Amino acid sequence: MIIVKLMGGLGNQMFQYAAARRLSYVSRVPLKLDLGWFRSTSPGTTPRQYALHPFNIVEAFASEKEVARFVPGPQPLWSLLARFLPPGGRYLREKHYHFDPLMLAPRQSGYLDGYWQSERYFSDVRDIICTDFTVKERAQGMNRSLAELVGDPELCSVSLHIRRGDYISSPSASLVHGSCSPEYYARAVETIASKTRHPHFFIFSDDPQWVIDNFPLEYPFTIVQHNDPDHGYEDLRLMTLCKHHIIANSSFSWWGAWLCLNSEKIVVAPKTWFAGASHDTGDVVPASWTRI
């Protein structure tokens, strides 16, 4: 059995699931999800909820007894101690931010504790991951209308994601992540405009009013602001239907671009993924994407 610890927002949960899904698939063992993190979020951490239910995933949940077989002590303490354990055990703690090839080896059992933010953990089963991350229910109302618009073959639709939220409001998150600068977005827009004809930008943000008040754009655009936080998967589905993408330093818009099936898509991503951390982020952005 492979058990994966889910934590963070929707994009983070998708990375964690995808890495574990691939490992369980190649190992031919069951996959289960550990939701314990959502019940014991530490102070200073942005509150989150389990967010994968709307997708066609393999959705089986690990019991406390099953988790205890892999995690013999309190999870935060055991996670810290696991940094000093030799590789190859059943508790698979992410040792560093960049890709770890040891994670690809099949195994009969394992507990995944980390973020696993690289497509290299699951790109060899891309079709499976794309299928799992389709939404169960058909789009309705405004989401259906927008899906038809962004998917129109005659429209050069471009998703543009502006992540603010806790990147701005939380001092700790701001220190680590930071928010992409206006200069980044200006360069990204011109990069897309120089390589396409008549682009129409669909702007997604957790702070749409800030976008309305502060984000000038000389090209046609639509601000997508009708979905509440509990329906973030609807925004994600709309992103995937766009033909090209400008992402933030955000796992959410990363997935919007990665799940896009347009073989000729242009994806622009920021060079700086973390504002105040020294992580090696060379594996975060696929080689075919443009970093500026």
Calculate the average pLDDT of the chain.
Answer: 88
Q: Which pLDDT score is estimated for 29?
A: 97
199 by DSSP, 3-state: which?
strand
pLDDT in the model for residue 208: 87
List the 91-93 sheet strands across, edge first. Answer: 31-34, 2-5, 110-113, 91-93
pLDDT band at 90 (very low <50, low <70, confident <90, very high): confident
Question: Residue range 150-173: average pLDDT?
Answer: 75
Residue 74: per-residue pLDDT: 61
Beta bridge partners of 112: 4, 92
pTM of the model: 0.88
| Identity of the amino acid at 147 | A
Residue 53 phi, psi (nearest 5): -60, -35
Domain 140-291 has CATH 3.40.50: yes
pLDDT of residue 98: 87
| Best CA proximity match to 274, nearest among 120, 167, 116, 162 | 167
For 240-274, what is each residue's pLDDT tens digit?
Answer: 999 999 999 999 999 999 999 999 999 999 998 86
Torsion-angle region of residue 88: left (phi > 0), alpha (psi -120 to 50) or beta? left
Give the model's pLDDT for residue 46: 72
**Ramachandran angles phi, psi of 162, nearest 5°:** -115, 110
